């Protein structure tokens, strides 16, 4: 009955654990949730107020499919000043979240049988999105020892005449890697040399630690800019996950293809959300400075706790985003078993690594309060000692 496309898509494998955790919370159990995929702070009030004002002034009708001019102008100016990318509004398509932007880009770039290079660990939706377009996800292995990073040499080994795109995510979910300027330049050279398109998912741009700079891969050359679709959004930077607002910047041919696709699928992103998005850009470096400080303190705390159980759990210190990807191979459990038992026996919910392409890892999210983090780390440590 179902289409081949629909049958090929995997359900979200992490949902089961999350559902169990939620059920336990409802039953009144004291679950520590390390599963969050969204910031734990409230959407800032200047953003909420702009959304409310939009409703009250009647800004509640269709807008242009690709976004209101005011928001596109604000995005153009952001990309220019913060990312060194010079675009015009015709290059910008606003969508219902960065996920939507990535989905649409893959739909307009990939034909049946085309291949997408996806570094492992990957954000769970990338391979599924590629499959939905009829494409083939080509998973590119990395290692904790090499900081979970790919380079041209590794990528070249997976190159075929069918290779069409590379999906990069820096800072990354789930492992928090942040590619440096020279590493990105080498990858840009690889893309230009082999004419590979790059989807650069920069959603965690603002959540970056130790003063490391975020670099947009499209900024290296005109040739690379032509091949790159830069994707960003409001969910993680401004804690606006439920508002559904993201955008992409690309060559006009790609941008208009995405716009056509949106014309016949979602139409415009929500009108009131777009107004809220315009207001978000009024928040400056001070706002992000506070967020980074808070997340960095939590990261430092968790890593200090993990250092005490080094013989049981390995990790690479994340440089961005709000997750720590932990190597659990020494526990001899696969990631689902680990997550399930930890939840049942110690009431700590985290996300198994298998859906991210790594069955001997689990993901701890630190988008939760320091108190919860302390409690959760105590329980994990206790549990690992008890299991000996
Ligand atoms: C959260 C997330 C997104 C999606 O963000 P939305 O704008 O809410 O759609 C995209 N990529 C990665 C890696 C994410 O973690």
In ligand 1, the atom with minimum distance to the C-alpha of 123 is 13
What does pLDDT average to over the chain?
A: 96
Atom 5 (ligand 1) nearest CA: 98
DSSP helix/strand/coil, 301: helix
DSSP helix/strand/coil, 152: helix
Name the fold adopted by 4-43+285-386: 3.90.1150
Q: What is the pLDDT along the chain (388 residues), one digit of tens a residue?
A: 999 888 888 877 667 788 888 899 999 999 999 998 899 999 999 999 999 999 999 999 999 999 999 999 999 999 999 999 999 999 999 999 999 999 999 999 999 999 999 999 999 999 999 999 999 999 999 999 999 999 999 999 999 999 999 999 999 999 999 999 999 999 999 999 999 999 999 999 999 999 999 999 999 999 999 999 999 999 999 999 999 999 999 999 999 999 999 999 999 999 999 999 999 999 988 999 999 999 999 999 999 999 999 999 999 999 999 999 999 999 999 999 999 999 999 999 999 999 999 999 999 999 999 999 999 999 999 999 987 6
Q: 330 CA distance to ligand 1 centroid (A)?
A: 31
Q: 356 CA distance to ligand 1 centroid (A)?
A: 14
In ligand 1, the atom with minimum distance to the C-alpha of 169 is 13
DSSP state of 9: S
Ligand 1 pocket (Cβ < 6 Å) reads 37, 97-99, 123, 169, 173, 201, 203, 233, 235-236, 241, 246
Q: Are 93 and 66 in contact (CB under 8 A)?
A: yes
Q: 99 CA distance to ligand 1 centroid (A)?
A: 5
The CATH class given to the 46-280 domain equals: alpha beta
**Which element (helix H / strand E) includes 71?**
helix 69-83
Q: 127 CA distance to ligand 1 centroid (A)?
A: 14
Q: Kindly report the number of other CB atoms within 10 A of residue 360's CB atom.
A: 18
Ligand 1: residue of 233, 237, 242, 266 to mutate (most ligand atoms within 8 A of CB) is 233
41-75 pLDDT, tens digit per residue, is: 999 999 999 999 999 999 999 999 999 999 999 99
Query: How many angstroms separate the Cα of 157 from the Cα of each of 151, 173, 187, 195?
Result: 10, 24, 14, 16
In ligand 1, the atom with minimum distance to the C-alpha of 201 is 11
Q: What is the pTM of this model?
A: 0.97
Ligand 1: residue of 12, 14, 99, 206 to mutate (most ligand atoms within 8 A of CB) is 99
Q: What is the pLDDT of residue 388?
A: 67
* 300-205-126-62 Cα dihedral, nearest 10 degrees: 130
Whole-angstrom distance, CA of residue 215 vs CA of residue 188: 12
121 prior amide bond cis, ω within 30: yes
Task: Show me where the domains of the chain are located.
Answer: 4-43+285-386, 46-280
Whole-angstrom distance, CA of residue 284 vs CA of residue 215: 18
Q: What is the pLDDT of residue 9?
A: 84
Least Cα distance to 246 among 88, 105, 45 occurs for 105
95-148 pLDDT, tens digit per residue, is: 999 999 999 999 999 999 999 999 999 999 999 999 999 999 999 999 999 999
Greatest alpha-carbon pair distance for the chain in Å reads 63
DSSP state of 320: B
Do β-strands 197-201 and 228-233 pair in parallel, antiparallel, or remain unpaired? parallel
In ligand 1, the atom with minimum distance to the C-alpha of 245 is 7
């Amino acid at each position: 009955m179902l289409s081949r496309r629909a049958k090929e898509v995997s359900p979200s494998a992490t949902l089961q654990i999350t559902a169990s955790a939620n059920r336990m919370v409802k039953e009144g159990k004291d679950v520590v949730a390390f599963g969050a995929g969204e910031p734990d702070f409230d959407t800032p009030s200047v953003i909420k107020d702009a959304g409310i004002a939009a409703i009250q002034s009647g800004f509640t009708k269709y807008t242009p499919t690709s976004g209101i001019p005011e928001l596109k102008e604000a995005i153009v100016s952001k990309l220019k000043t913060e990312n060194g990318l010079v675009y015009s509004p015709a290059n910008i398509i606003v969508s219902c979240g960065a996920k939507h932007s990535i989905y649409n880009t893959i739909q307009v770039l990939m034909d049946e049988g085309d291949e997408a290079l996806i570094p492992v660990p990957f954000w769970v939706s990338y391979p599924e999105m590629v499959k939905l377009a009829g494409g083939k996800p080509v998973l590119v292995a990395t290692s904790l020892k090499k900081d979970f990073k790919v380079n041209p040499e590794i990528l070249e080994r997976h190159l075929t005449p069918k290779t069409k795109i590379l999906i990069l995510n820096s800072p990354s979910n789930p492992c928090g890697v942040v590619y440096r300027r020279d590493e990105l330049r080498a990858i840009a050279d690889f893309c230009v040399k082999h004419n590979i398109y790059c989807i650069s998912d920069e959603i965690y741009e603002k959540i970056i630690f130790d003063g490391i700079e975020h670099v947009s891969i499209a900024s290296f050359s005109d040739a690379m800019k032509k091949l790159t679709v830069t994707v960003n959004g409001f969910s993680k930077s401004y804690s606006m996950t439920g508002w559904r607002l993201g955008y992409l910047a690309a060559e006009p041919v790609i941008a208009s293809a995405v716009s056509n696709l949106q014309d016949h699928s979602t139409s415009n992103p929500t009108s009131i959300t777009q107004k809220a998005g315009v207001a978000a850009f009024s928040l400056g470096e001070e706002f992000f400075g506070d967020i980074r400080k808070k997340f960095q303190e939590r990261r430092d705390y968790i890593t200090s706790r993990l250092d005490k159980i080094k013989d049981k759990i390995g990790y690479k210190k994340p440089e961005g985003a709000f997750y720590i990807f932990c190597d659990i191979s020494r526990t001899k459990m696969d990631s689902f078993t680990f997550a399930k038992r930890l939840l049942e026996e110690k009431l700590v919910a985290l996300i198994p690594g298998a859906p991210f392409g790594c069955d001997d890892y689990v993901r701890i999210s630190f988008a939760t309060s320091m108190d919860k983090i302390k409690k959760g780390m105590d329980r994990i440590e206790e549990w690992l000692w008890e299991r000996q």
